[in-house]
Amino acid sequence: MRIEFLLAAALFSVASSAQARRTVSLSGPGWLCDGEEVCVPHTWNSLDGADGSPEGAPPPERGMSISADSYLRKAARYSRRLPDPMPGMRQFVRFEAVSRKADVYVNGSFAGRHVGAFTAFAFEVTDLLRPADNVIEVVADNRWDADVAPLSADYTLFGGIYRGVEWIETPQVCIDPVTDGAYGVELDVNTNGTVKAKIRILGGPDEEREITIENPELWSPENPRLYEETFRIASGDSVSVRFGFRTVEFREDGFYLNGVKRKLRGVNRHQDAGLSGWAASREDEDRDFALIAEVGADAVRLAHYPQSRHVYDICDEKGILVWNEVPAINWLTDSPAFRSNLVQQVREMVAQKRNHPCVFAWSLFNEIYNDVPPDRAQEGWMEGMLAEVRDVIKALDPKRPVVAASDRQPKKMLNDIPDQLAFNAYPGWYGDSSMSDDISRWFKASGRAMLAISEYGAGGNPFEHLDPLPAGRLDPGGPVHPEETQVKLLAADYMTICGEPRLWGSFIWAMFDFAADARREGGKNGINDKGLVTRDRATKKDVFYLFKANWSKESVLHVCSQRMSETTNATATVVGFSSCGDVTLLVNGSVAGVKTPDAVKVVRWEAVPLAEGENVIELRAGGRSSVRKLRRVAAKNEYEST
Ligand code: ADA
């Protein structure tokens, strides 16, 4: 007995003095989900989460995909073996996210519960482990719950262990990997070169450190300079943190980064990474941000919730400013459980993302419907809850502004809560207004001197075409979302946005098509098709090149409607984008016109005559060429078609 004790004590002292932290990925194969072998990241909704509500189901309501029961909602049991623990060390399991509730067990004993689909969490499992043959089980549950945000939204809530999992072993005294799912080191970075670090320690008192970097280079989209520091404590445990020096502030006339005014050129991104749904790999995320960098955006709104750690790492590296959002959308529940879960999700979001220089703002909500039911709105409880959340954010991180995305002006009180307000506008798509009307109304109603546009866009199926476009508005819930409408509306919107100096930024809805299972429209069920790029990332729509021509440093010449192969018309509309100067139009080798691009790099020819049969329509500018082929065919006699 005494010998065993001495041996254990010796092992412990070896471990605590000499053993560094060990981190092992538990992602990949080796997991079972309800008895089937799966790879983590995993979701059980990758197919049914984006196939639309079944035919015959009641007409889908816009924005109801979170609560739709058109895809599998369940509690699923995952399990896998754990690495053998090193004696004398402490063991933790860290999940990047589980949707949306997770109950974790080790060898049948309860280790902890996490509620919230978008933030990381970790549990200590040291006391639940045997020397070998340990099994972890996770019950993941994506069923709707009135006490867990978000309650409703226009995207599919994929279920499962859809981000990575890690096994962490530390000495007995260690940098805390548990509290708020963060890494235990909180930085306060100042552009004079001082970096103050609060190190949270388990098994010992917390520590504060200060380091100085001489003449630090500032971080910006043009120069995303990062620094890294390893914080080591006496037990040998250490954590490395990357950071950057930069300031963000709003002055009376706009947004300033490092004291320089900038009007943000943003896109919105959901974490739905195409055919794997939310179970995105690092490669999926790298590919997405390569496309965001290619289009030339300097900002991304991570709609409508915090995304994976790798996403923020990429944005730090590429110099993309991040709008990071609390998952409060459409509805809130007036219950203490909802309020406390929302605050917990917010604390975790700030704690986990605060060290990333790319994050420029915390967003409090998206499109809260406090006007329904009206009696509840009068009580003021929503204002109270959102003001409390704002104050929680400000107490945790006084340096970043709080913003919000609103869609309705009567909600004056809610719109007054964030430091900066942005609005979502779909003129010509969901309504008959114009972007300039919308902007004027928003400035008038909000009484603010500056605003941003958090969403603008239109549906676009790159395999549906219409020329000429009808004079009126198309039905956004209808079966046809021609690519040409998306080009027309976004070009007009962007022209207005460029001419409005009171806007501090704008964010296209959206960079990629994404799963919204309740939708049945645009020729493809289960998809919100307002992306610049299709959900499988295989097709860059014409609007991708509109923004690339405006934002990228690369020269762009692009003729639209290249996927439209046939027409029965005698003429065609030719639209193109050029950042290489004046554009010459050639039809079947003959010059048909020369035009100077407008302020948003668009050239347009109406009613260009076509020959019978194949036509080659070519744009030339700055030594480049872009071609579309269009076959003119005879109109089908209606009796011929069958
Ligand atoms: C809203 C909402 C988005 C998006 C958009 C749309 O503005 O904020 O999540 O779904 O509508 O495409 O209708």
For 99-130, the three-class secondary structure string (H helix, E strand, C coil) is: ECEEEEEECCEEEEEEECCCCCEEEECHHHCC
Nearest CA to ligand 1 atom 7: 424
Which pLDDT score, from 0 to 100, does residue 376 have? 53
Q: What is the distance in A from the centroid of ligand 1 to the CA of 426? A: 9
Ligand 1 atom having least distance to the Cα of 154: 10
pLDDT recorded at residue 1: 33
CATH topology of domain 22-180: Jelly Rolls (2.60.120)
Ligand 1 pocket: which of 331, 367, 507, 509 to mutate (most atoms <8 Å of CB)? 509
Q: Above 70 in pLDDT, residue 92? A: yes
How many angstroms separate the alpha carbon of residue 449 from the centre of ligand 1? 25
* Tokens encoding 515: 């799963």
**Region 566-641: CATH code:** 2.60.40.10
pLDDT by residue (tens digit) across 549-602? 999 999 999 999 999 999 999 999 999 999 999 999 999 999 999 999 999 999
State in Å: Cα 501 to ligand 1 middle. Answer: 25
Q: List every span in the chain annotated with CATH 3.20.20.80.
A: 260-554
| pLDDT tens-digit map of 435-445 | 999 999 999 99
Q: With a 6 A CB cut-off, is 367 part of the ligand 1 pocket?
A: yes
| CA pair distance 600, 141, nearest whole angstrom | 47
Does ligand 1 come within 6 angstroms of the Cβ of 330? no
Amino acid found at 556: V
Query: 236: which 2 tokens?
Result: 């040998």
Q: Does residue 298 have a pLDDT over 50?
A: yes
For residue 326, the CA-to-ligand 1 centroid distance in Å is 15
SS3 label, residue 283: helix
Which residue pairs from 29-38 have beta carbons closer than 8 angstroms and sit at least 24 positions apart in sequence?
30/80, 30/81, 31/78, 31/79, 31/80, 31/161, 32/78, 32/79, 32/80, 33/76, 33/77, 33/78, 33/160, 34/76, 34/77, 38/78
* Among 427, 457, 459, 430, residue whose Cα is nearest residue 442: 427
Ligand 1 geometric centre to CA of 63 (Å): 7
Q: Which of 15-29, 281-295, 388-402 is predicted least confidently?
A: 15-29
Whole-number pLDDT of residue 382: 87
- What does pLDDT average to over the chain? 93
Question: Which residues of the chain does CATH 2.60.120.260 include?
Answer: 22-180
Instruction: Give the pLDDT of residue 70.
Output: 85
177-227: pLDDT as tens digits = 999 999 999 999 999 999 999 999 999 999 999 999 999 999 999 999 999
**Would you say the CB of residue 366 lies under 6 angstroms from ligand 1?**
yes
- The neighbour count for residue 642, using CB atoms within 10 Å, is 4
C-alpha 404 – ligand 1 centre gap (Å): 14
Q: Is the beta carbon of 289 within 6 A of some atom in ligand 1?
A: no
pLDDT band at 4 (very low <50, low <70, confident <90, very high): very low
Dist. CA 456 → ligand 1 center (Å): 9
Residue 13 — very low, low, confident or very high, per pLDDT cuts 50/70/90? very low
455 lines ligand 1 (CB under 6 A): yes
Q: Is the CB of 535 under 6 A from ligand 1?
A: no
Ligand 1 close to Cβ of residue 96 (< 6 A): no
Confidence of residue 373 (pLDDT cuts 50, 70, 90): low
Beta bridge partners of 528: 514
Task: State the distance from the centre of ligand 1 to the C-alpha of 161, rounded, in angstroms.
Answer: 26
What share of the chain has pLDDT > 70, as a percent? 93
Work out the pLDDT band at 375, boundaries 50, 70, 90: low
Ligand 1 atom nearest the C-alpha of 304 is 9
Please check the confidence at residue 475 and state whether its pLDDT lies above 70: yes
| Residue to mutate, 154, 367, 453, ligand 1, most ligand atoms under 8 Å from C-beta | 154
Which of 287-296, 319-328, 518-527 is predicted with the least confidence, judged by mean pLDDT?
A: 518-527
> From the CA of 170, how far away is ligand 1's center (Å)?
44
Query: What spacing in Å lies between the alpha carbon of 479 and ligand 1's midpoint?
Result: 18
Confidence of residue 58 (pLDDT cuts 50, 70, 90): low
Confidence class for position 637, pLDDT limits 50, 70, 90: low
The rounded Å distance from CA 36 to ligand 1 centre is 35
CA 154 / ligand 1 centre spacing (Å):
6
Any idea which architecture 260-554 has in CATH?
Alpha-Beta Barrel (3.20)
Q: Please, where in the chain does CATH 2.60.40.10 lie? A: 566-641
Q: Ligand 1: which residue has its CA nearest to atom 10? A: 154
What confidence score (pLDDT) does residue 16 get? 41
Q: What is the pLDDT of residues 94-146, one digit of tens each?
A: 999 999 999 999 999 999 999 999 999 999 999 999 999 999 999 999 999 99
Residue 7 confidence (pLDDT): 37
Q: Is the shortest distance between the CB of 521 and ligand 1 below 6 Å? A: no
Per-residue exposure over 341-366, b if at least 16 CB sit within 10 Å of its own CB, e if not: bbbbbbbbbbbbbbbbbbbbbbbbbb
How confident is the model at residue 540, as a pLDDT? Answer: 98
Mutate to test the pocket of ligand 1, among 528, 530, 535 (most ligand atoms within 8 A of CB): 528
* pLDDT at residue 6 greater than cutoff 50: no
Q: Detail the DSSP E strand segments found in 426-541.
A: 451-456, 503-508, 514-521, 524-528
CA 268/CA 264 separation, integer angstroms:
12
Q: Report how far ligand 1's centroid is from the alpha carbon of 57 (Å).
A: 21
Closest Cα to atom 5 of ligand 1:
154
pLDDT in tens, 476-498: 999 999 999 999 999 999 999 99
Mutate to test the pocket of ligand 1, among 424, 453, 512, 513 (most ligand atoms within 8 A of CB): 424
Is residue 481 lining ligand 1, measured as CB closer than 6 Å?
A: no
pLDDT of residue 274: 87
Is 263 a pocket residue for ligand 1 (Cβ < 6 Å)?
no
Ligand 1 centre and the CA of 145: distance in Å? 21
pLDDT (0 to 100) of residue 204: 97
pLDDT single digits (tens) 595-635? 999 999 999 999 999 999 999 999 999 999 999 999 999 98
